[in-house]
Structure 1
């Protein structure tokens, strides 16, 4: 069913890197969400009213909030698809995150409302009516939500959409809440004990937790995330694969919405190559990155020594010394300024985010001491910086 809908309602569905195609995927997901959730709301609301069940009613309005979320998501997808303009040169892609954040607050509000109602039912239980048909309808709704989870997860992975993946997770939460509701009804039928208020309380808490999860997932890209290690390796490998590039570092990626990334990186080039030749290579990489990676890439050119054996020997000494002190630390941009009685060894040192300022100072002091033990003339000028890759990992 998922592939059928994609093939028939998403034009050029294979071109997932195109913003227009992403918008079509988002529109399809929103429309399917609206249709399914409104249908589930109507069915569960009728059951809840007939059976006087707060847990079923809470579950019904949870589906209604999901439908409202899909409506807001549809508006957000349309707004996110607007092209760049003079006031928003990087486009409107972050509207998708903002609408998801609005949705999260709606979900939390629905959960809180039924939390209060559930507490009231626990204090003053009401008579319930059992119906086998209601159980069948609720079981069918579980099947629908399971399919919706698979549907949104498939679309989310295909276009790398955090919103759709969050919707898929929310659908699984709905499966859990509806299953709990079914259990409470079957328990009432078997024992005559009304635990509806307690189950409604659990359902409301699950709904609120789902809303908090959506908010957490959407706040990350809005605040600015560290680059994923896999993406880090992909981009650095892409840059370093070109002839004339001997290394890279300081990769930073800025996200302006799904599929809208801007990045900067330092590319190391041999210092004995004509600057215009290196510049031409850099320009070609930037053009190819826009076409092949769908990314606006800005490259800073760093000339490095590749032939002078004395300088290369100092570089190896520095790398081995730093690795011996802490294998998680790396260096780059090493330069050597040699004098008669002292040798300035200048380089940048990348440390994990777990390092405090005091630890950084101790690390610098230890590295300087060990390098001076190798050659007393070494005077190290070290700049400490941190990686922009997730978890502080570094190549």
Structure 2
């Protein structure tokens, strides 16, 4: 059974890697277009947006490596598998975002202190509009795949790219202000971009930390309701959940008639486990501790 589950998980990780590889190519194209033409036109906000897109590509690489390691089966030294390596990868993405945010903020400050006039033309608008539509496609595609495959790294990466869309729109608006005679808009928008990038990094970091510190992953009242559907159970308590969206682990205690045989109690526990796994998507394992809790059959 475990071998079948591992093979299914392996196929899933293969799909996730395929999606990340496809998006990596698009992110490289988008980032190069923005950075190269940003340098040609001396536009700080465009260069900043290009580096943000480049960090999207870097996060794809980190994600591919993390998923590859996560796909390894459980072994003697890692009996619970390597699933949290994916979570560590998302933390790496968040720190990458922090680094990019600081770099852009420093460059923006330098341009505010020593202003320069960017050369905004038709190609600036064209490059930004085309790359924005590419990013919209990436977000929709990656988010849909992330929810379908229950992959935290695809979902977090799509949020990263989604922030790139808002940033690109702000850069385009900045071009309009620059054309109207307000060149100071360029470094100011760059600085705002750095704050948005840092915010995205914090959101991703918080989600990853919740996984690492075993934060509650499901509504325990919901689980309690499922368990109490069994007539043989007189109470259910000490419900705990942990893990990540596609790999939730649950343990709980149930009380049954103290006169039940070991075989009968085991059968009840097994049926509870199966029902929770069937009813709730993303649940990987349920451990039921049976207690002699009733004086007579319920």
* Alpha-carbon shift at residue 130 of structure 1 (Å): 1.5
Give the match for residue 384 of structure 1: none
Query: Which protein is bigger by CA-based radius of gyration?
Result: 1
* Alpha-carbon shift at residue 275 of structure 1 (Å): 4.7
In structure 2, C-alpha distance between the alignment counterparts of 1:18 and 1:149, rounded to whole Å: 25
Give the match for residue 357 of structure 1: none
5 Å-filtered alignment, 1:242-253, equals 242-253=230-241
Instruction: Report if aligned partners of 2:217, 2:245 keep a CA contact under 8 Å in 1.
Output: no
Which of 265, 270, 282 aligns to 2:269? It is 282
Which ranges of structure 2 fall in alignment gaps of 5 or more residues? none
* Alpha-carbon shift at residue 80 of structure 1 (Å): 0.5
Q: Report SS of the residue matched to 1:121.
A: helix
5 Å-filtered alignment, 1:279-318, equals 279-286=266-273, 295-305=284-294
* Alpha-carbon shift at residue 104 of structure 1 (Å): 0.9
Q: Report SS of the residue matched to 1:89.
A: coil
CA deviation map 1:107-149 (0-9, x unaligned): 1101101110000000111121121122022011111212222
Give the match for residue 98 of structure 1: 88
In structure 2, C-alpha distance between the alignment counterparts of 1:252 and 1:200, rounded to whole Å: 45
Give the match for residue 81 of structure 1: 71
**What is the Cα-based RMSD across aligned positions, in Å?**
2.6
How does the TM-score come out when normalised to structure 2?
0.88
In structure 2, C-alpha distance between the alignment counterparts of 1:153 and 1:207, rounded to whole Å: 19
Instruction: Report if aligned partners of 1:289, 1:295 keep a CA contact under 8 Å in 2.
Output: no
How does the TM-score come out when normalised to structure 1?
0.68
Instruction: Report if aligned partners of 1:163, 1:218 keep a CA contact under 8 Å in 2.
Output: no
Question: Taking CA–CA contacts closer than 8 Å with sequence separation of 6 or more, which of the two structures ends up with the larger relative contact order?
Answer: 2
Return the structure number with greater helix share: 2
Give the match for residue 239 of structure 1: 227
* Alpha-carbon shift at residue 237 of structure 1 (Å): 4.3
CA deviation map 1:92-113 (0-9, x unaligned): 0000000110111111101101
1:220 to 2:220 alignment? no
CA deviation map 1:244-296 (0-9, x unaligned): 223322111232x5533332111121234445422332244446667886533
Instruction: Report if aligned partners of 1:162, 1:217 keep a CA contact under 8 Å in 2.
Output: no
In structure 1, C-alpha distance between the alignment counterparts of 2:222 and 2:11, rounded to whole Å: 23
Question: Relative to structure 1, is the Cα distance of residues 176 and 289 closer, same or farther in structure 2, using a 3 angstrom cutoff?
Answer: closer
Instruction: Report if aligned partners of 2:239, 2:250 keep a CA contact under 8 Å in 1.
Output: yes
Instruction: Report if aligned partners of 1:44, 1:57 keep a CA contact under 8 Å in 2.
Output: yes
5 Å-filtered alignment, 1:1-395, equals 18-191=8-181, 193-229=183-219, 232-233=220-221, 235-255=223-243, 259-286=246-273, 295-305=284-294
In structure 2, C-alpha distance between the alignment counterparts of 1:89 and 1:288, rounded to whole Å: 24
In structure 1, C-alpha distance between the alignment counterparts of 2:26 and 2:181, rounded to whole Å: 33
In structure 2, C-alpha distance between the alignment counterparts of 1:31 and 1:107, rounded to whole Å: 20
* Alpha-carbon shift at residue 165 of structure 1 (Å): 2.0
